[in-house]
Amino acid sequence: MKKLSLFLLGLFSASFAISQTTTQYEVYAVKYSAAVHDSTVTKHEKDSVSVDFMVWLIKGNGKNILMDAGYLYSVESAKNFDVIDDLRPDSTLQKHTLNPKDVTDIILSFQHLDHISAIDLFPNAQVWVQKDDYNYFTNTAWQKGGVNGQFNKREVKKLVDVHGKGRVTLFEGYNKEIIQGLKIFPGSRNPALPQYALVKTSLGNMALASDNIWIYYNSDFVTPAPAFRTFDANGYVKAMQKMQTLVNDEKLIVPGYVGSAFTKFPVITEGVIRVK
């Protein structure tokens, strides 16, 4: 009887340990800025599209993970965005009672300004970057024949400095967990590779599209966006088609810049929604 009790206790302990390591994530969109008009997305200001800049907070398994870090409008090159309601990404996160020091990880989906500029605001975060993209961003893009028009040397220095502090993890490959319950997939070539994340949630797998889908119109009609800024239209389409196979409901494909999400999902506080 004693042996049976010990066996059952061990079985319960093992089951409890497994349940603790397979916790499903909660996903939040945290808005820190909005476009004055839609010229970043459409050719004509008369076209009505609500475009917001946001970071994605992924909570669970004892982690506070950001999908991208956002940018600071005070950076000179950011002023080209012509934005309103501009806040620091770290200040916006504090609305969700999250101290910037408590961010454990940042996954860079792309090395453009609005994804990478604020990585230095989160001093304890481990930054995850595809090895090929890191090498392109910090080296190849600046060599003869390289394409660097979307990049900024200020952000190169920030990423190299964070790497020098031992807080960058370079990973290789796709469709594998870089953090438990979170996978990274390739998107379009732009000329570096905007990626998207597949996150395990209570609703099933959720795809955070980043630059691969800007607004719902793109995913609804499998249309690359924005057409006049796209270097790899086929890559956008392939990424969207792949996302559709990875989720059991297309509502779980979340565009990277869509302002209408803030009327679609539950509001936690001003500028913060839970995607569910």
User: What's the pLDDT tens digit per position in 177-200?
Assistant: 999 999 999 877 665 668 899 999
The predicted pLDDT at position 100 comes to 96
Kindly state the average pLDDT of the residues 259-266.
81
Is 207 in a helix, a strand, or coil? strand
Amino acid at 198: L
Is 17 in a helix, a strand, or coil? helix
C-beta separation of 75 from 117 below 8 A: yes
The torsion defined by the Cα of 221, 224, 226 and 232, in degrees rounded to 10, comes to: -170
Helices in 139-212 by DSSP H: which ranges? 153-164
pTM for the model stands at 0.82
Residues 6+ apart with CB under 8 A from 247: 204, 205, 206, 207, 253
Which sign does the torsion angle of CA 236, 237, 238, 241 carry? positive
Q: Token digits for 144?
A: 């003869």
The predicted pLDDT at position 110 comes to 87
Percent of the chain with pLDDT over 90: 40
Q: Token digits for 228?
A: 């006049």
C-beta separation of 275 from 232 below 8 A: no
pLDDT confidence band for 82 (50 / 70 / 90):
low
Q: Token digits for 166?
A: 């031992």
pLDDT confidence band for 39 (50 / 70 / 90):
very low
Residue 38 has pLDDT above 60, yes or no: no
Residues 6+ apart with CB under 8 A from 184: 107, 128, 130, 171, 174, 176, 178, 195, 196, 197, 198
Residue 118 has pLDDT above 50, yes or no: yes
* CATH superfamily to which 23-274 belongs: Ribonuclease Z/Hydroxyacylglutathione hydrolase-like (3.60.15.10)
User: What's the pLDDT tens digit per position in 147-178?
Assistant: 887 788 989 999 999 999 999 999 998 888 99
Count the residues in the chain: 276
C-beta separation of 171 from 131 below 8 A: yes
Phi, psi torsion values for 154, nearest 5 degrees: -60, -40
